[in-house]
């Protein structure tokens, strides 16, 4: 039982959509791109008072800061703010995640 995305942040230049690509290959590509970009997100988090931990062999990333908990699942592009799974955001790459973290900080 899943939920539809409440918000989508647009297409990703980092992990572009490829017509005809299988879901498993797309998910693998997203996870590999996230792993390659880990240093960028980790650096941003350190500079902006967010902690970042990876779980489940990199399939689940948790950022905690500013009174919020944000979970990102890179392979499925799912981002969940404050455990509200019914209101998840579709984020393909670390730049989109940072954009969402900035939105959370403004709230």
- Cβ atoms of 70 and 62 within 8 Å: the answer is yes
Q: Is residue 98 part of a domain?
A: yes
Please state the domain count of the chain. Answer: 1
Domain that holds residue 34: 7-106
49 lies in some domain:
yes
* Burial (CB count within 10 angstroms: exposed 0-12, middle 13-18, buried 19+), residue 29: middle
On whether residue 25 sits in a domain, the answer given is yes
Q: Tens digits of per-residue pLDDT, 15-72?
A: 888 999 999 999 999 999 999 999 999 999 999 999 999 999 999 999 999 999 999 9
CATH number at residue 28: 3.30.457
Q: In the prediction, which pLDDT does 11 show?
A: 82
Query: Would the pTM of this model clear 0.85, i.e. be above it?
Result: yes
């Amino acid at each position: 039982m899943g939920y539809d995305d409440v918000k989508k942040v647009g297409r990703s230049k980092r992990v572009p959509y490829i017509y005809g690509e299988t879901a498993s290959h797309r998910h693998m590509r997203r996870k590999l791109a996230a792993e390659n970009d880990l240093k960028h997100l980790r650096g941003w988090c350190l500079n902006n008072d967010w902690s970042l931990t990876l779980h489940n062999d990199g399939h689940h990333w948790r950022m905690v800061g500013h009174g919020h908990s944000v979970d990102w699942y890179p392979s499925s592009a799912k981002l969940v703010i404050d455990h509200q799974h019914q209101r998840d955001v579709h984020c393909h790459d670390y730049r989109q995640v940072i954009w969402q973290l900035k939105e959370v900080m403004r709230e």
